[in-house]
C-alpha cells in the first residue's frame, strides 16, 4: 500500500482518538458550566433550580449517551451548540477561524520575507561578518519565546514611543484591509520573527550543502556566474527543507497561538478554546479541538506529499 493511502486510512482513526481524548479530558476538568455561569451565586440555587440547569446544559445524561449523541452529530456535520455563544459550534469556529488563518499566513510571510533572504545571503557569504551576525541574530531570535517577544514589543512601542497597534474591535480583512493589517501587523511580526530565525538557519545550511554539491561546483568551474548558479541551481533545491518546515509550522499556527492572541487581544481560535475551557463550554472545546486537529493533520499530510513530490530521492518505504 502506498504511503499517502496508508496515511489517509489512518486519518479517521486518529480523529476518533482525538475525539475520545478531548471528550473525556474536558469532562475530567473539575467544575461545570453552572458554576462557570453563576459563580458563587450558584450556592443560592435550590435543588429544583440546579436540576433545571443540569438539564439545560445537557449534563443530566451519562457520558456514554453524551458522547454517542455528539459523535452522531459530528458525522452529520453538527458539532453541537456552544452554551456561551448560544450559537452552533461550527458557526463560532468559522467566525473566528479567518483571523487565525490570516495570522498564520501573515506570520509565514514575515518569516519567509526575513528568513529566506537572510539565510541565503549568509550562505553565499559564508564566514563573513554578515554571516556571523545573521547567525547570531537567528540563534537569539530562536531562543526568545514568542510571548516574550510580544511583551517586549508592546512595552517598547507603547511606553517608549507611545504607539500601539489597533487593538479595538477586530475588523476582518474583507471589511477594511488597512485597518485589519494595522491590527495584525504586530502579532504577525511577533510570531514571524521567532519563525524567521528558524527559516534563516535551515535555508542557510541547506544552501551551503547544495553549494558544495558536485554539480554546483561543476557549473561554477565552467564559468557560470555565481548569481546564476545560486538562483538557477541552488535555490530551488535549498527551498525543499524550507517548504517542509514552513508547512509544518503553518499546521501549528492554524491551531491558534493562544499566548499571542491573549497578549494582543485577538479573537482567534486559540482564545476561543482557552475561554471555552475556562467556561466549561464542552461542545465548543470538543468541536474546536477537533477542528484544529483536523487542520493540523491535513496540512501535515500535504507537507509530506509535497516533500515527496519535490525531492525524488525520498522513498517513504525506506523509513
Residues 116-145 that bind another protein (CB under 8 A): 117-118, 120-121, 124, 126-127, 132, 134, 139-140, 142-145
Please give the Cα distance from 61 to 22 (Å, whole number): 18
Number of Cβ within 10 Å of residue 203's Cβ equals 26
User: Per CB under 8 A, does 77 bind another protein?
Assistant: no
Residue 175: phi and psi, rounded to 5, are: -80, -45
- Rounded to a whole number of angstroms, the distance between the first and last alpha carbons of the chain is 14
Containing 98, the helix (H) or strand (E) segment is helix 89-124
Number of other CB atoms surrounding residue 156 within 10 Å: 11
Q: How far is the CB of 271 from another protein (least distance, A)?
A: 7
* Interface pick for another protein out of 3, 37, 237, 239 (rule CB under 8 A): 37
Distance CA 293, CA 115 (A): 27
Going by the DSSP 8-state scheme, the letter that residue 31 receives in this structure is S
Q: Shortest Cβ distance from residue 64 to another protein (Å)?
A: 20
CB of 93 to another protein, least distance (A): 14
Give residues 208-237 in contact with another protein (rule: CB under 8 A). Answer: 208-209, 212, 225-228, 230-231
DSSP-based three-state secondary structure for 273 = helix
Least separation, in Å, of the C-beta of 192 and another protein? 9
271 binds another protein (CB under 8 A): yes
Find the part of the chain contacting another protein (CB under 8 A) among 63-71, 72-80, 213-221, 275-283: 275-283
- Identified binder of another protein from the candidate list 1, 2, 5, 40, rule CB under 8 A: 40
Measured from the CB atom, the residue of 93 and 263 that comes closer to another protein is 263
Q: How many residues bind another protein (CB under 8 A)?
A: 131
DSSP code, position 76? T
Told to check if 29 binds another protein by CB under 8 A, we report yes
Q: Binding of another protein at residue 110 (CB under 8 A)? A: yes
Q: Tell me the CA distances in angstroms from 25 to 18, 188, 247, one per residue in order.
A: 10, 31, 29
**Contact indicator for 126, 208 with CB cutoff of 8 Å:** yes
The stretch among 63-71, 80-88, 213-221 that binds another protein (CB under 8 A) is: 80-88
| Least gap, CB of 194 to another protein (angstroms) | 6
Q: Of the candidates 79, 108, 238, 245, which one interacts with another protein according to CB under 8 A?
A: 245
Grid cell locating 297: 493533520
Residues 85-104 binding another protein (CB under 8 A) are: 85-86, 95
Q: Interface with another protein includes 283 (CB under 8 A)?
A: no
User: Which one, 66 or 83, has the nearer CB to another protein?
Assistant: 83
- Phi and psi (nearest 5°) for 169? -45, 130
Q: In this structure, what C-alpha cell is assigned to residue 104?
A: 498564520
Q: Is 312 in the site for another protein (CB under 8 A)?
A: no
- Burial status of residue 129 (CB atoms within 10 A of its CB: 0-12, 13-18, 19 or more): exposed
d(CA 7, CA 14): 10
Report which secondary-structure segment, H or E, holds 88: strand 87-88
Question: Within positions 148 to 177, which residues make up the interface with another protein, using CB under 8 A?
Answer: 148, 151-152, 154-155, 158-159, 162-170
| Binds another protein (CB under 8 A): choice among 2, 46, 62, 76 | 46
74 binds another protein (CB under 8 A): no
Q: Considering beta carbons, is residue 18 or 103 the nearer one to another protein? A: 18
Query: If you search the block for the grid coordinates 458539532, which residue do you land on?
Result: 79
Amino acid at each position: 500500500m502506498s504511503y499517502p493511502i496508508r496515511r489517509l486510512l489512518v486519518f479517521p482513526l486518529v480523529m476518533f482518538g482525538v475525539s475520545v481524548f478531548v471528550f473525556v479530558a474536558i469532562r475530567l476538568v473539575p467544575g461545570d458550566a453552572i458554576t462557570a455561569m453563576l459563580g458563587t451565586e450558584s450556592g443560592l440555587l435550590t435543588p429544583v433550580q440546579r436540576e433545571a440547569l443540569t438539564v439545560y446544559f445537557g449534563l443530566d445524561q451519562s457520558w456514554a449517551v453524551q458522547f454517542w449523541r455528539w459523535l452522531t452529530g459530528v458525522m452529520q456535520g453538527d458539532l453541537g451548540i456552544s452554551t456561551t455563544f448560544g450559537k452552533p459550534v461550527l458557526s463560532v469556529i468559522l467566525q473566528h477561524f479567518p483571523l487565525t488563518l490570516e495570522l498564520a499566513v501573515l506570520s509565514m510571510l514575515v518569516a519567509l520575507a526575513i528568513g529566506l533572504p537572510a539565510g541565503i545571503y549568509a550562505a553565499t557569504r559564508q564566514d563573513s561578518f554578515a554571516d556571523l551576525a545573521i547567525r547570531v541574530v537567528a540563534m537569539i531570535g530562536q531562543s526568545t519565546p514568542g510571548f516574550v517577544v510580544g511583551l517586549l514589543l508592546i512595552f517598547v512601542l507603547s511606553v517608549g514611543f507611545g504607539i500601539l497597534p489597533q487593538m479595538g474591535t477586530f475588523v476582518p480583512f474583507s471589511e477594511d484591509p488597512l485597518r485589519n493589517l494595522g491590527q495584525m501587523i504586530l502579532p504577525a511580526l511577533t510570531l514571524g520573527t521567532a519563525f524567521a530565525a528558524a527559516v534563516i538557519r535551515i535555508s542557510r545550511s541547506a544552501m551551503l550543502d547544495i553549494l558544495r554539491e558536485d554539480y554546483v561546483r561543476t557549473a561554477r568551474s565552467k564559468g557560470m556566474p555565481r548569481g546564476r548558479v545560486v538562483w538557477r541551481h541552488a535555490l530551488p533545491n535549498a527551498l525543499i527543507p524550507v517548504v517542509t518546515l514552513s508547512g509544518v509550522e503553518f499546521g501549528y499556527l492554524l491551531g491558534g497561538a493562544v499566548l499571542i492572541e491573549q497578549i494582543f487581544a485577538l479573537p482567534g481560535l486559540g482564545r476561543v478554546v482557552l475561554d471555552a475551557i475556562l467556561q466549561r463550554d464542552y461542545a465548543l472545546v470538543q468541536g474546536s479541538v477537533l477542528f484544529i486537529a483536523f487542520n493540523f493533520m491535513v496540512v501535515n499530510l500535504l507537507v509530506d506529499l509535497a516533500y515527496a513530490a519535490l525531492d525524488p530521492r525520498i522513498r517513504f518505504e525506506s523509513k
